Structure 1
């Protein structure tokens, strides 16, 4: 063999099965495999003596499903093709053999399809690196190929009850990396993990879309590694049906992900964090603190702090819901046929209720724990009421219930754990196993157990704690009763509960008045609306301590330290029921200082940490925290829909007051910053969404124009027509000195225009839709403002050109309609901005008197063109949701690059941009010469890799940002005439324009192969952007657009 350009790469393995039919349904019970990649070519002989052997071909995908709502049921094996072995090196011992090919993906799914896997889905193994064969001596010097992805999911659902495995990396001088188990694309998808699910390899969701991880099935599921092995999910969902456990670090569980469906059978393990306290804040989630930092789990549900059991071991925190109330097996329940053991009752049996009537049982729940398991959670430990503990003969014999089970005493329901006195009501930790049974009637009722009045079951989102919870859904699939509906007031603590507990203790022989012993305790936290801590009487560690809170000389409240705290129990300080977390009846006034004392009521001995001095608020941050706490108090105090409605009315009025004050500050008429009052000119920019400089040229243009207005002395404000806030993008604009109006500060553009009124000097509309919608309103409310319409590009011109290229008559009508709308709006505004001299001339031909100005946007210059030798490949940049870009990349791959590859197969095409469609992904999967980079955060880094970029647009309008960005980075751009339109090209740059596929391919080959041509074009491109797209150019043009504003202000 004689070669000058190197050996040929092995061919890619074939696809096992490919389908695009909508609604297709497939079942695999055998083996479905992709083809193995071909062997890389050897470098047998070379005139240059240094040609490298070729890489092995990539393995083929076993299955590609692209049709809408297609499905696969897999009970067999689906495996991607193995990568081919790298080519053999027989020329020089100093060279390495070929790299192994990449393993093929087992399955690629898009279009909203569904995969149900109960067996195995395995990515193809990476190909082995090739050998050096020098004089018959073999040594593996090639790098192993990466393993293939088990499943690529781009808009669909995967139910996994089997194994999904990324392919093994190929052997080599350096072994290839193992493939990922699952990779998510740019369309929101759902992964359902059922019992038996195994994920061998990482699972990488796309954090920019709403990917969901759901734990489901009828048996228990446990997943570990959230944040490391499982990344990028926006929502974690616990489906009903069985016990689920998820373990992960703060990145996977406490970084804004919503966690829904969490019930009593589920558990969360937060690794790398040892919590010492927890608090559930409605609308925020479960806040965990280790005394120094706070992590927040965004748990969705109607929870309170008391609903959670939080325990720490080592550097891991376990979160679970507290147990449901129950009777211990053996308890006698009064029925219409006498006392019957609770475990012997059946649905339909009639039990005695408080008013003397007998009502049928609707459902019976059952659950059991070992003694060790019950003891580890105080909410699951049984409480024993000894015979006669409550009254003479009540209960008739010892009654055992769970800690949360409520007894009916003095017309209220009180949890059993709140009544423990160590004598007649005690923790029963000697029962093994602990078998609980509970009975449910049609409504929550007081029934009789061992003669004592106690509650029936009420669903407080706790049914799933029972091991037979699924039987209820089977019996009553349409049950729609309201949960949390109690038959009597429920009191879990406080002075009234302590009075009842003391009466029961005195009945058992405990002294009516206890001599106070040594007091230990601490005030953990004191806020204006909430105080937390703990207190224990060492002489009576099982007796709750009654405390007083004073503010100066005034008594604020009395309360009892009786809340369970795991850290106190772990320290063997009594039962652990010695904590307090008190919401003050009214938040302390923020405008005056306070001296708070927390002391024992019986002898005024103060806790460690008391007194606390709380100065008047001086900083905004403190005032904001106080406002938040007052809201929390209101939420905790409201009990009816009417009260919540009244609270919402109050908050709405407060919100409107805040918005009004905010607009006054933004206008300079009010506020703490005198410098703002000196600003005489305000400009408001209106666009569809918050601009993102990484997304599109339109965003870069509007950011550039806003920055220019700032340099010209304007106070610049921005409001999107869809006022949803993205914190990252808001922060980026704020850093540039731009005031952003978004939710919750404002709800609409109209609100901003009305509030700003005549203070606005310039209203800048970006794009047709915003000019149409708001020009009239702006003219009415902002009478002195100059209305400026920036067209971005002439959309109707782009559509007309597309219609001509694609012979699409329907687009012709759309283009005519858009043109009429565009010209009508231009008659309403005072000035029109375009970026292109071609578009300016087209508009003036239609409307000779139009005030239209060419205003460029500034393009940041790159450094000097880098090393030619250190670069390789061709780059294409563009948002693939934009039709001209999608058409251009199709033309590039289908018609232009094959001409290039026929001459130089080693040239890779790198594609950068967001919203890649399934068709483009298919191209990338089939062709090793393609690399899909996705949305690139560092565009300079991308351009630093390639020798040239290419923009083969067939239709479009306006100046092309991709061309300018390439020029500024010192990278030549080979262009179609459409891509070059409107640019002031020098002769060195004009020669980069190709009118047809053949010319564009020839230019690519020339630019990629000639260092001198590269350097000449790179320097000319940077010179163009420096001359025509520098900030001074933008300012000069923008000054012409807004100059009448200055004259009007001076006249005023």
Structure 2
């Protein structure tokens, strides 16, 4: 039973959470669980349709309220709810609904869950496309991996997506970031205020049981939502470059590829004769991860931090990835596997780690230390709650000091309000 004085939280989701389909949804669920532990009263709303793997929020005691874009019914809904905190899941939701929150609940704390820095991911994707057009070398991509932050800024600064995304950050009172690298990029290069950012990585409970032994595991695994472009690109790089090199050294090796929303272009790659198995969606990702010997994450672009690698660490499964996959995930701690910059290096590392039990066990031990040092929910959950409470207490000062955000809210919300009113009037006219 929710206490009468409980903090009321409204979450406006880009999608209904599917924690078994994507790390982004998994992070949203972790945040919701932290709020539930505080006894907070939570309402989750989204303009998206219900996905096939969505979480049962109602069973957790979270109200589910579908909403519509450009529909004034949201005004009545939020006015009656009168939330203390509004959490926007990804910046596009702030763009769509921020002005309505400002209008009807001006004193609500506005928080943005960024998931990852989407403009950074998009910029890296564009550079990869240019590189693939310019060269048929499908092996070495070291020139693309983890450039200096100044170089990242120069690629991003003139893009519409970066301007939209960072403007949205300014319009909020606090933005949650999973990546410390992205925090430094925003602060050092975009000159964004560190006070408006909070580091909140993936939050997990440490495993209490021993991992499956080396001898009881077999095969290689790649896992990831096929709708997420970095995952699809990783599958293509595996198919065309990395996996043939592994099969040269391990002719009987088998690769199992799992991912939700598997498109026909992915199932077309299924080839048991080559040991390349496209397995569709995994009912229990941790179960299949625990049964495999190596997790492969050959990401040539991306942003944020990687849920598949956290899952691998939870299962005691060593991983092989790229600098993009390892970015912001381990600070100065040793990596629980290897980090490769070319297809040849990636394949060789996979073969060695798969075959050498001593190296494998060493990587597994590093995973346990890394989880304990960086990803414990018992550490980050209370830190998040305290940050939100502090922001509520100091909201007037935060907004006064964030003049840029106040200015952007003024102009964005006025223009968005006029546009929404025009769309609603047009819709009514069309229905008449």
User: TM-score, normalized by length of structure 1?
Assistant: 0.33
Q: Distance in 1 between matches of 2:5 and 2:39?
A: 8
1:792 alignment partner in structure 2:
115
Distance 1:689 1:814, change over 3 A: farther
Q: Secondary structure at the match of 1:949?
A: strand
Deviation at 1:1046, TM superposition (A): 5.5
Q: Distance in 1 between matches of 2:51 and 2:387?
A: 30
Q: Secondary structure at the match of 1:954?
A: coil
Check conservation: 1:709, 1:1038, Cα contact below 8 A: no
Distance 1:880 1:818, change over 3 A: same
Check conservation: 2:218, 2:293, Cα contact below 8 A: yes
Q: Does 1:710 align with 2:36?
A: yes
Matches within 5 A, 1:884-895: 884-895=230-241
Deviation at 1:900, TM superposition (A): 1.1
1:150 alignment partner in structure 2:
none
Q: Secondary structure at the match of 2:291?
A: coil
Q: Decide which of 181, 186, 197 is 1:838's aligned counterpart.
A: 181
Deviation at 1:914, TM superposition (A): 1.8
More strand by share: 1
Deviation at 1:1019, TM superposition (A): 2.2
Distance 1:815 1:875, change over 3 A: farther
Q: Does 1:847 align with 2:191?
A: yes
Matches within 5 A, 1:496-895: 676=2, 678-722=4-48, 724=49, 729=54, 732-742=56-66, 749-757=74-82, 760-807=83-130, 816-845=159-188, 846-850=190-194, 851-862=196-207, 863-895=209-241
Deviation at 1:1042, TM superposition (A): 0.6
Distance 1:926 1:728, change over 3 A: closer
Q: C-alpha offsets along residues 417-465 of structure 1, whole Å, 9 cap, x if unaligned?
A: xxxxxxxxxxxxxxxxxxxxxxxxxxxxxxxxxxxxxxxxxxxxxxxxx
Q: Distance in 1 between matches of 2:327 and 2:86?
A: 29
Check conservation: 2:202, 2:307, Cα contact below 8 A: no
Deviation at 1:736, TM superposition (A): 2.4
Check conservation: 1:986, 1:1020, Cα contact below 8 A: no
Q: Decide which of 257, 267, 288 is 1:921's aligned counterpart.
A: 267
Q: Distance in 2 between matches of 1:798 and 1:1019?
A: 31
Unaligned ranges ≥5, structure 1: 1-674
2:387 alignment partner in structure 1:
1041
Deviation at 1:710, TM superposition (A): 2.1
Q: Distance in 1 between matches of 2:213 and 2:337?
A: 22
Q: C-alpha offsets along residues 881-910 of structure 1, whole Å, 9 cap, x if unaligned?
A: 211111111111211111111111111111
Q: C-alpha offsets along residues 763-798 of structure 1, whole Å, 9 cap, x if unaligned?
A: 000112101111121111112211011111111111
1:932 alignment partner in structure 2:
278
Q: Distance in 1 between matches of 2:344 and 2:238?
A: 11
2:288 alignment partner in structure 1:
942
Q: Distance in 2 between matches of 1:987 and 1:829?
A: 33
Q: Distance in 2 between matches of 1:696 and 1:941?
A: 16
1:551 alignment partner in structure 2:
none
Check conservation: 1:833, 1:855, Cα contact below 8 A: yes
Q: Distance in 1 between matches of 2:114 and 2:294?
A: 30
The alignment's C-alpha RMSD in Å is 2.7
Q: Distance in 1 between matches of 2:226 and 2:53?
A: 23
Q: C-alpha offsets along residues 929-985 of structure 1, whole Å, 9 cap, x if unaligned?
A: 012221101112211221010111011100011111111111011110000001125
Q: Distance in 1 between matches of 2:76 and 2:352?
A: 56
Check conservation: 1:719, 1:749, Cα contact below 8 A: no
Q: Distance in 2 between matches of 1:883 and 1:706?
A: 26
Deviation at 1:866, TM superposition (A): 1.1
Q: Secondary structure at the match of 1:974?
A: strand
Q: Distance in 2 between matches of 1:933 and 1:778?
A: 43
Q: Distance in 1 between matches of 2:24 and 2:186?
A: 20
Q: Distance in 2 between matches of 1:779 and 1:748?
A: 15
Q: Secondary structure at the match of 1:1004?
A: helix
Q: Distance in 1 between matches of 2:369 and 2:107?
A: 40
User: TM-score, normalized by length of structure 2?
Assistant: 0.79
Length, aligned pairs only: 368
Check conservation: 2:11, 2:45, Cα contact below 8 A: yes
